[in-house]
Amino acid sequence: MKVGDVLTAEKSSVLKALDALRRDWRIIGPTRGVDGEVVFAEIASSQDLFFDYVNELDPIKRFFAPQTEPLFRFRLEGVPELQPPEPPPKQILFGVRSCDVKALEHWDKFYGGRFVDELYFARRERTVVVSLACNKPLPTCFCICTDTGPYLKSGFDVQLTDLGDRYLVEVGTEKGLAVLAQGGLEATEATEADLKQRAERMRQCDAQFVTTAYMAKGIIQLTQGRVKPELWEEMGRECFSCGACTHLCPMCTCFDVQDFMEDTTCGVRERCWDSCQYSGYTRETSGHNPRAATSRRVERRFFHKLSFQYMQQDGHHGCVGCGRCIISCQAMGLLDLPAVLKRLRREGQPVEPARTLPQD
């Protein structure tokens, strides 16, 4: 076996390998929650896995940057003592959908660069991502519009494709290769017929998407400053500023930092997820708030996703088409990404740009 290999394995063999890996690894995969919902959680056995799912509601970002995460503990007797967190456990994320895997590529770039976030990379480096390509999208899925699925070409350690009684197994990285070997996976080289079957599944899946997101049009409208201010004001009136869209977005990374005292001498500094949709997000101590109005925050969110951060800084969409904002938006069908793009598209009359954005 080597990186780049395309194999097939009986499903039972894949599960057997997973059970063998449990001795050394924390295995996280799709399980059935108490109310029947799908939740990615640590499993005690491959028997706990629940495969009839497309995507869980919570993105997997919480396994790399937990909702609240200690940055360090401190003790305040005499000269303060600071204690960084313990290294995280080794974990295998099993059955992750393509869109969520693609979001990780962005996180790797964002948390790397000039200032490397070692806490993120400590988790990232100790995590193996086994993705499961989608054969059936949800009605809310639109990864074909963002070029992030339903099958992956990169970003996975191992990619599985469900071929009925077998999985097609693609080995993406050395890390992926190592766990397949450690788990003792019994696999054989994929045949022409297997690849053909996969291609057919991909074709069938592509044909089932129903949600469209006019990414190109939205990017043009925003980048050229063609959206009328009234439209943002209208959307600002519709938004509840609940932050669900950002918390459930696999791409969103913002956090806040707070200290908490545990007793008179001990405490912890934690970071926790934050949202640009909250009114206090940009409020300064002086009271000055550059984005006090809800409309300004909604505007910021879409400029950020479709123009500023991702396109101008990173050269890709700020969206992976998972559809979680559609499911979670309290303004029901008005402010999720595909809905807003539809509104921008309708508004898209060829008008004189209000202001062209800089390229720098």
Distance of alpha carbon 70 from alpha carbon 140, whole angstroms? 34
Q: Is residue 110 a contact point for other proteins (CB under 8 A)?
A: yes
Q: Among 102, 123, 166, 271, which residue sits at the site for other proteins (rule: CB under 8 A)?
A: 271
- Name the one range near other proteins by CB under 8 A: 10-18, 25-33, 49-57, 67-75: 67-75
**Would you tell me how many other CB atoms lie within 10 Å of the CB of residue 81?**
12
Distance of alpha carbon 273 from alpha carbon 121, whole angstroms? 17
Distance of alpha carbon 99 from alpha carbon 133, whole angstroms? 9
Distance of alpha carbon 148 from alpha carbon 99, whole angstroms? 5
Q: Is residue 352 a contact point for other proteins (CB under 8 A)?
A: no
Q: Among 10, 19, 105, 117, which residue sits at the site for other proteins (rule: CB under 8 A)?
A: 117
Q: Is residue 89 a contact point for other proteins (CB under 8 A)?
A: no
Q: Among 199, 259, 293, 333, which residue sits at the site for other proteins (rule: CB under 8 A)?
A: 259
Q: Is residue 220 a contact point for other proteins (CB under 8 A)?
A: no
Our CB check for other proteins shows the closer of 271 and 324 to be 271
Least distance (Å) from other proteins to the CB of residue 82?
6
Q: Give the number of residues in contact with other proteins, rule: CB under 8 A.
A: 53
- Name the one range near other proteins by CB under 8 A: 4-12, 79-87, 187-195, 206-214: 79-87
Q: Among 66, 236, 267, 348, which residue sits at the site for other proteins (rule: CB under 8 A)?
A: 267
Q: In this structure, is the dihedral angle defined by the CA atoms of residues 214, 61, 64 and 56, taken in order, positive or negative?
A: negative
Least distance (Å) from other proteins to the CB of residue 239?
18
**Sites for other proteins among residues 193-212 (CB under 8 A):** none
Phi-psi label, residue 225: left if phi above 0, alpha if psi -120 to 50, beta otherwise: left
Q: Among 225, 316, 330, 345, which residue sits at the site for other proteins (rule: CB under 8 A)?
A: 225
Q: Is residue 125 a contact point for other proteins (CB under 8 A)?
A: no
Our CB check for other proteins shows the closer of 21 and 244 to be 244
Q: Is residue 115 a contact point for other proteins (CB under 8 A)?
A: yes
Q: Which two tokens stand for residue 49?
A: 């896995």
Distance of alpha carbon 185 from alpha carbon 267, whole angstroms? 45
- Name the one range near other proteins by CB under 8 A: 132-140, 183-191, 270-278, 330-338: 270-278
Contact residues for other proteins, defined by CB under 8 A = 71-72, 74, 76, 79-80, 82, 84, 110-111, 113-119, 225, 253-259, 261, 267, 269, 271, 274, 276, 281-286, 288, 290-291, 296, 300, 303-304, 307-309, 312-313, 355, 357-358, 360
